[in-house]
Each structure stands twice: as C-alpha cells, then as structure tokens.
Structure 1
C-alpha cells in the first residue's frame, strides 16, 4: 500500500517510539488487529499492531516479551503498549520467513504439540494480570446469559440458522468445563497453523500474541488439539490427530493429565468447533467445521464425558 494511505497518527508514532518514520510499507493486514509491516527511514523493518484498547494488550505483549527474551521463537516487542485514542498500539521486530507446516496427520499433530508444550512451559512462571476478556472463540467461561458469550454482531443475526446439534454441543461441553473447576494458567488461545512458521520441522516463529487467555491448561491444550491444522478457513482436526496432540503434549511436559483434565481437553476441542460452526451458519459460509463437527461429535462427547 502507498505510504500516504497510512493512518495519520502512525508516522509520528513511529518517530516517537522507534526513532524513524516509515519509508516503505511492506504489508498491511486487518483482522481483529490492524498490522502494518514497515521499513523505517533508517532501514529497520518493524511490525506495528493496533487493536481496540480493551485492556488485554499490555499483558499479552508482556508475555510475548518474556518468552522472546528466553529464546522462544516469537517476534520481540520493541515498544510497550501505547494508547492512541481508543487504540492500543505497540511494535515488534519483523520476524519474516519460514513456511506453514501443512497437514493434520498424527505426526504433524505431534510437531505442533511439542511447540505448544514449550510455549506453555515458558509461560508457567510468568506473573501477569490475566488478559481479559478472552478472545470470543474461546470464551466458554463467560458470565453472559445463555450458551454463547454476548457478541453483538453475531447475536443480531438469525440464530435459527445455527443447527441444533451445534447449540446442544456448546451447551454440553460448556457445562462440563465449568463443572471441572480447574485452576487457570496463561496460554495461547489461537494456536493454528496459519499463526506459525517453520523451517522444515523446526519451528521458526509463533505469531498472534494478542490471543492469549487465562484458562485451565487442559482447556487450552484441548482447544489447540482441535485447531492446530487450520491454515485457512477453520475446521476440526481428525480425532486420532487430536489424540496424538494430547499425548505428545503430555510427553513433552513430563506428566499425564488426570481423567478430569482429559475430559476437559476433549470438551474444549468441541467448544471452539461449535463456535466456528455457529459462525459459518450465521454467515452462510460453507460448513467446513460444521460438517467435521457433525461427523466427530458423538465420539468427542463420549471422551469428554458429557
């Protein structure tokens, strides 16, 4: 994109926080955050992230920095989180390169699980205010009325479009996870193939640190076991691959989940799938997750004991 199309606040922000104005725009991506890849006047390449100032960003960036300082493969934050009007803004080093590791086989699942275990171990001793509210797709522990968390732009759509089995699945697994009353920890809640880059089978970069959550370890691991293979539109990994993810995670962490934790992990894999299936139905999209969920739901519910 042309430099002139940058937001008015961004050049002065870069000069103040990074010591140079943007000279070239390498890329711009807009999802929940707006992300600018920039080359500054002095030649430094950076990523500037701007998202709604909902109070989450400072904890997420602090955790990212903690891991980067200890050698975990993630971009190193270059600035603290700075308020710009209603936005929360910070800059990272540009950690480019690497490729998506494709596939949803048990062997690929084991690769992703090893990285997730390393990530969770790295955050275990880090003390930070929980990054609340949780991202919408993982927000099963909400205090809103009804099954789903209150999300205005979804709630205003015709809920009759959502298949009954999706709503029933969400209600059952949410009840199971809430009943477990497991302690919460800090972890990555959007652990998908699209957010990682690899050199062969060696992980090079883990991105999307805006998506941290404060939930039971088993729930975070279970969610990742269902989503790890998402490199585009989301779906649900095969059951044997989710099982391989859980086993490989336990091996890497050096302990086995309890029976209750395993049930919560399987339940969490279904919650994210139900959220994504609801999204598909409300937007009239191809039901990639909905079809996978329908095919797997009985066995996953059995394993979740709900």
Structure 2
C-alpha cells in the first residue's frame, strides 16, 4: 500500500469500494485534491476530496445524471461522503484525449455543441442549488463592494488592479444584476483545459465541482468567453463568442431574447475581469487584462451598457 496517501484514504477505499489502494497513478491539488489510484483488486479509480461547503452533493448528482445518460464525463462510483471537513467521492478513471486548442469561430462552434448538450442534460434535474457559486463566476454575491469576499485576494494590495478592469467589472455586473431571469444548473468553468478530445469527438468533460446556479444566458455567455482558456486563461475573440452563442441557440432550438443576449455578453466579461484582477494581484503578465482592455468596449455595447 502506498505510504504517502492521507491517513483516511486507504480505509475509505476499503469501506466504500471494497479494496485498498495498491498504487498511485497520479495526484493533483488545485481547489480539490485528486488521487488516481490502482486498487488491490486491479481497478483504477479517482478519489476527489474538497472542503465540504455543501455544494459537492449536488455537483456529483448532476455528474451522475449526465454520465448515466451517455454524456462524456466520468461516472461517479459513490455519493459524497463526509470525512472530517472534507466531502469525498470516487469516480471512474477516464484517461486519454487531448486538449482542443484554438479560439476561432470554427472551434467555438465545436465547444458550443458540447455545452448545449451539457445544458440540455441538466435541464430537468432537480437538486439543491450548488451555492455559493464558484468564486470566478460569483457576480451575484451579496458581499459589500464589487468583488465577492475572497480573503486571500482581498488581503493583497488592491491598488494594483487596473482601473479598466474594475470599471468593466462594475458595468458588466450592473447589467447582470438588473436581469430578471430564472436560474438553472450549468458548468461555470467551461475551459479548454477541462475538456479532452479524440480528434473531433469530445472524450471527457472535467471539473464538475464548478457547477453554478445562474440564468442560462449568463452561463452560456461566460462559456462563450472562456472556452479557449488553458494556462494562462484568456478571453475568446468577440467573433468567436458570437459564433458560440449562435450555435448554442441553434442546437437548443430556442432563440435568446434581446435581454438574454445582453446578459450573455455581460456575463462573458465577468470571468475575464476576475482573471485580470488575479493577474494584477499576483504580478502576472496581463493576458486576460489586455484582452479585456481590447474587447470591453464592443462587449459592453452588445450587453446594452453604454455608460
């Protein structure tokens, strides 16, 4: 048995999967701790553990629904189980595939097809809303000030954040908060780095901890801006976001209203503003910041924000 795993993990695997770890295939630590393991019975599994803030059960239920209906994502093998302050679950190991790179309109349409299938698959699922929404999508927060309260960001020198980032975020958020649209369940971290492909066929969509409860137009709009994101994150060109939005509506068979389109364009700005703020606070190259500076006037115009 590997001796460099958390103390609770071998027993958890035995209790919930019937076998203990025999080897580690890989491990990752971002917002969640991810362990890909080979069990003593030979089965490969992935264990995910994250602080249990009440969101995980709904996210895993949504993932299970989609996987059970044939959507390309890993199938959960257990429900979420509380381990101390952590929410833990197991899912199938689904390796392989490559990132689909590019931000052209043609690539945007391929991503829009996947997002439309994802949203259709979740449309009638009833789960507790996974709130609060992920921090980079949390324009709907009720904290004082522009940005959601995130201690490790708020503790940094805010004066380094460019004025154009703050101004764009304020104007986009004002439009989003003015909308009166019903909330639905959707993926709020729809970036290239979270999908793998076999040629033209999507193989796996990852990061189901990043579901959000927001209006459909805002979820689609955000995805239309983030779909090309890898490391570093950036903002897709305006024309590619337009292609994404048009293709999504075609596939779902419903045209957005004028107000929904404005919300979609406003929502595409918020993750980019969050990323631009992150870059500034961490002294990183302004990849998102430069894209935001270049595109904000046109995107705000399409969002119906004129001042």
**1:58 is the counterpart of 2:46:** no
Instruction: State the shift of 1:232 in Å.
Output: 1.7
For residues 76-129 of structure 1, give each alpha carbon's deviation from its aligned partner in whole angstroms, at most 9, with x where no partner exists. 000010010000000000011111111110000000000000000000010000
Instruction: State the shift of 1:175 in Å.
Output: 0.8
Counterparts of 2:198 and 2:250, CA distance in 1:
23
For residues 27-71 of structure 1, give each alpha carbon's deviation from its aligned partner in whole angstroms, at most 9, with x where no partner exists. 010000000000100011010000001000000000000111111
Q: Which residue of 1 aligns with 2:215?
A: 216
- 1:96-135 matches, cutoff 5 A: 96-135=95-134
Q: Which residue of 2 aligns with 1:10?
A: 9
Instruction: State the shift of 1:266 in Å.
Output: 0.5
Instruction: State the shift of 1:4 in Å.
Output: 1.2
Report the number of matched residues. 305
Counterparts of 2:275 and 2:289, CA distance in 1:
8
TM-score (norm 1): 0.99
Consecutive aligned runs of 4 or more in structure 1 exceeding 3 Å deviation: none
Ranges in structure 2 where 5+ consecutive residues have no aligned partner: none
Counterparts of 1:273 and 1:154, CA distance in 2:
16
Counterparts of 1:102 and 1:162, CA distance in 2:
29
Ranges in structure 1 where 5+ consecutive residues have no aligned partner: none
Q: Which residue of 2 aligns with 1:85?
A: 84
Q: Which residue of 1 aligns with 2:266?
A: 267
Instruction: State the shift of 1:249 in Å.
Output: 0.4
Residue 36 of structure 1 aligns to a residue in which SS? strand
Instruction: State the shift of 1:233 in Å.
Output: 1.3
Counterparts of 1:305 and 1:169, CA distance in 2:
13
- 1:156-305 matches, cutoff 5 A: 156-305=155-304
Instruction: State the shift of 1:3 in Å.
Output: 2.0
- 1:134-145 matches, cutoff 5 A: 134-145=133-144
* RMSD (CA atoms): 0.8
Counterparts of 2:232 and 2:29, CA distance in 1:
16
Counterparts of 2:95 and 2:140, CA distance in 1:
35
Q: Which residue of 1 aligns with 2:146?
A: 147
Counterparts of 1:60 and 1:15, CA distance in 2:
24
Counterparts of 1:125 and 1:304, CA distance in 2:
28
Counterparts of 2:232 and 2:209, CA distance in 1:
19
Residue 3 of structure 2 aligns to a residue in which SS? helix
Q: Which residue of 2 aligns with 1:34?
A: 33
Instruction: State the shift of 1:282 in Å.
Output: 0.4
Residue 292 of structure 2 aligns to a residue in which SS? helix
Instruction: State the shift of 1:231 in Å.
Output: 2.0
Residue 173 of structure 2 aligns to a residue in which SS? helix
For residues 10-29 of structure 1, give each alpha carbon's deviation from its aligned partner in whole angstroms, at most 9, with x where no partner exists. 01000111111111100010
TM-score (norm 2): 0.98
Counterparts of 2:175 and 2:5, CA distance in 1:
47
